[in-house]
Structures are given as C-alpha cells and as structure tokens.
Amino acid sequence: MNKNRARKEDPLIFISRFLNKLYSEWLRLTYPFAFMGSGVSINHTCPISRLTAHRISLGNDVILKKDAYLGVSRPPEEEGEPVIEIEDNCVIHWRSQIGAKNHIHLERDVIVAQDVLIIDQGHAYEDITKAIPLYEFTEGGRIRIGEGSWIGHGAAIICSQGELVLGRHCVVNANAVVTRSAPPYSVLSGNPARIVKQYDPIKEAWVMGSVRMVETELAR
C-alpha cells in the first residue's frame, strides 16, 4: 500500500462528517433551544425532540457523539428554565444518556464517556397492584457535575431524591454506580460507588481513600 494513501482518511468517513455538520445546522436553524452556543456538533443519529428542545441549553463547542441521548421528561407545552444545561467544551460520547425531569447541569469541560447514564428520576414502583408504569416517574432530584470532571465508560449517576453534586475535577471510574454526592477532587469507583482516591490539599498529592477536606482550603 502506498504510504501517502495510508496517511489519508477513509473517504467514507467524510459522508458522516458532512451529515453531522448538516444536521447541526438544521438543529440550530429550526430547533428552539434555550441556548445554543457556537461550534456545537451534534451527530445526526442523536434523538433530540424538538418539542422539548426549549428546555435544553448547550454551551459553546459542545460535542454530542453518535446515539447520545438528551431526554426531557416534561410536558412539551410547559415553559420554564432549562432542565438540561450543558456548559462549554463538554463532550458526550457514544450512546450516553441524559434523562432529566428536574435539573441536570454539566459544568464546563466535562467528559462523559460511552454508555453512561445520568438520570434524575426513576420509575414509580411503589404501587404493587399494577405493573411498573412506563411513563410515570418519581419526584426525582437534581444533579450537578462539577467543572472538568470525567465520567468513565458505563457509569451510572442516579439521583432519586434531593440533590446529587459531584464537585469539580471528579473522576468516576468505569461501570461505577453513583447515587450520592462527592466532594471536589475525588475518584469514585465500584458498585455502589465509594471514594477510592482524593486530592489532599495539605500534602498537595492524590492519596488513597477519603480525606476530609474543606472547599475553602482548596480555594486559597
């Protein structure tokens, strides 16, 4: 094989790149997003509903890869604040799902890897006399994921009540199931997830296990 040709990309890939660009522009022109920054790239396979697009806010340079799903379980006629807020430079990789009823907020520079689930509600199962209904959800909570965090492959972040806050610069390992808040600069792992590593501001190093830390200490 000619070396020059090997360096070049497969021409088939340009078809999908062209489609993505076209689809992103189509969304920008016809969808009533609460906010859509510049340089947003949305793959043409992303199932986003136009009826609830006014509750979604996308910052600058947000990338939604193939099959990434942003779902709003709110009646389409309802007006109000955005329930999904994705700030600048976030990347949501293949097949990740964000399902919001109350509020899900991804701050700047968050990486969401493949197959991740971020959901702030659950199916209501308490009534034992009938099958668990498909379109009835629990009250749910609110989720905020701090600036610069990284959610690993296959992780699930589920908040069935109250508020779940992952502080800034958190790392969620692959296949972890997070149901509780975590302070900034923590590494979470396992099912159920626990803190396996944390940044110690006094030693200025990452240490195994959980360190009690005050956010004001880090702010100095």
Partner 1 sequence: MSNAIPKHRARFDDPLAYLRRGVTRLYTLWISCTYPFASCGRNLSIHYPCRLSKTIAAHIRLGSSVLIGKDAWINIVSDGVQDIKITIDDNCSIGARDTISAKNSIHIERNVIIATSVLIQDHNHAYEDIGRPIRVQGVTAGGRIRIEQGCWIGQGAAIVCNEDELVIGRNSVVGANALVTRSFPPYSVIVGNPSRLARKFDPTKATWIGGEAGRTVPTESTYAASSGLTAGPMEREREKV
Binding site for partner 1 (CB under 8 A): 1, 5-10, 12-13, 16, 66-67, 89, 91, 94-95, 108-111, 114-115, 147-150, 152-154, 169, 171, 173-176, 185, 187, 189-191, 199, 206
CB closer to partner 1, 60 vs 175: 175
CB closer to partner 1, 9 vs 81: 9
CB closer to partner 1, 24 vs 173: 173
CB closer to partner 1, 31 vs 206: 206
HEC assignment per residue over 13-61:
HHHHHHHHHHHHHHHHHHCCCCEECCCCEECCCCCCCCCCHHHEEECCC
Q: How many residues can be counted in the chain?
A: 220
CB of 199 to partner 1, least distance (A): 6
CB of 147 to partner 1, least distance (A): 7
